[in-house]
Amino acid sequence: MTRRKIRTLDELPLFATDREIAEAVVGPERAKQYLLSIKLLEKLPGFPPHDPAHGGRYVPAVKAFYDVRSGLSPATLTRPAGQENPAGWNAPRAPRSKMRPA
């Protein structure tokens, strides 16, 4: 019986299936357990959603999620969909200039 080479997150396509991600994160032996916890992971901030247009999750975001969770990268706030004010969720918008370009 030949063993499959374990692929890392860096070796996966840009969008990968949950199975591919599971095998890269915890190895093929524990992938089934990981897949059972996907619904819990999706509730955590920063875990990327499944993209139906691409048939998988955005792998760089999965890697960033684990880097932040492990303390290897500083946490960064991301804007919720439709949020136009990156200064803060409740910060007032800066007034727009009434001057128009000439």
Tell me what pLDDT residue 32 has.
97
pLDDT in tens, 19-73: 999 999 999 999 999 999 999 999 999 999 999 999 999 999 999 999 999 988 7
B/e letters for 33-55, b = 16+ CB within 10 Å, e = fewer, are ebbeeeeebeeeebbbeeeeeee
With tokens 């139906």, the residue in question is 52
Supply the pTM of this predicted model: 0.69
How far is residue 29 from each of residues 24, 34, 75, 91, measured CA to CA in Å?
A: 11, 10, 30, 47
Helices (H), 4-102: 18-26, 31-36, 38-42, 59-69
